[in-house]
Amino acid sequence: MTVHIDLTGRTALVTGSTQGIGAAIATQLARAGARVAVNGRGADGVRRAADALRADVPGADVLEIAADVASDEGSARALELLPEVDILVNNLGIFGARPPLEISDEEWRRYFEVNVLAAVRLTRAYLPAMMDRGWGRVQYIASDSAVVIPAEMIHYGVSKTALLGVSRGFAKAAAGTGVTVNTVIAGPTHTGGVEDFVYQLVDRSLPWAEAQREFMRLHRPQSLIQRLIEPDEIANLVTYLASPLASATTGAALRVDGGYVDAIVP
């Protein structure tokens, strides 16, 4: 048997997909034949990302959704531009280091609004039609920090822990409908934002290759691959879960963490 993923005829929305993991997911879904909506807050950034995707995947059907889906207004705008989807990938998220006792109520609320409530709101909007049609895929991009809460960013870790519960709950709501709902637990991944984060924790004068090794040695020593994960490696699992091949996988938290989480199950 040959494993072949064909998403022709499916429409996917990937939130926060102008760069990093989100851009990699959008690209992989397009390669599998899906019509893909690229999302970000600014029209210029969305246009650049969409153009890059079209150049990378000739003939790709790409939509541009410039909307801040972490807000009520932005979510409404996204729904106006794209009323229905077959595949929803809730990738949007923010992160950053902060001493635990210095995290304000305002920052806690911001992390919950962006990392959790944005995904809940879109799921609530798109899931009913998926259930009525008898097919759909909802995914949340979480983090190893959901399971191994880092001392330097408790607020981020807790927001990702919340996504595990959100995913399991919506999977139960969609039981028996042909719609699957899952979370992908991403490990330490190489993105531009993570490069900035790494340099918050190690000597900024170090070249990137050395800074990465130092970061993994000091702050992520549990990693079994002993390197940062590339965004395409996350996108590969997301694309599989979006396909008919993953029809029996739902309510799950699946790890692409390089063996970082020291557990047999999530």
* Active-site residue flag, 156: yes
3-state secondary structure of 168: helix
Angle at 128 between CA 123 and CA 131, to 5 degrees: 110
d(CA 209, CA 230): 14
Question: Phi, psi at residue 41, to the nearest 5°?
Answer: -75, -35
3-state secondary structure of 254: strand
Active-site residue among 156, 199, 240, 260?
156
DSSP string, 130-155: HHHHT-EEEEEEEEGGGTS--GGGHH
Q: Which of 82, 185, 84, 71 is nearest to 130 (CA)?
A: 84
DSSP alpha helix (H) spans, the chain: 20-31, 43-56, 72-81, 105-112, 118-133, 154-173, 192-201, 208-219, 231-241
Q: Which residues are catalytic?
A: 156
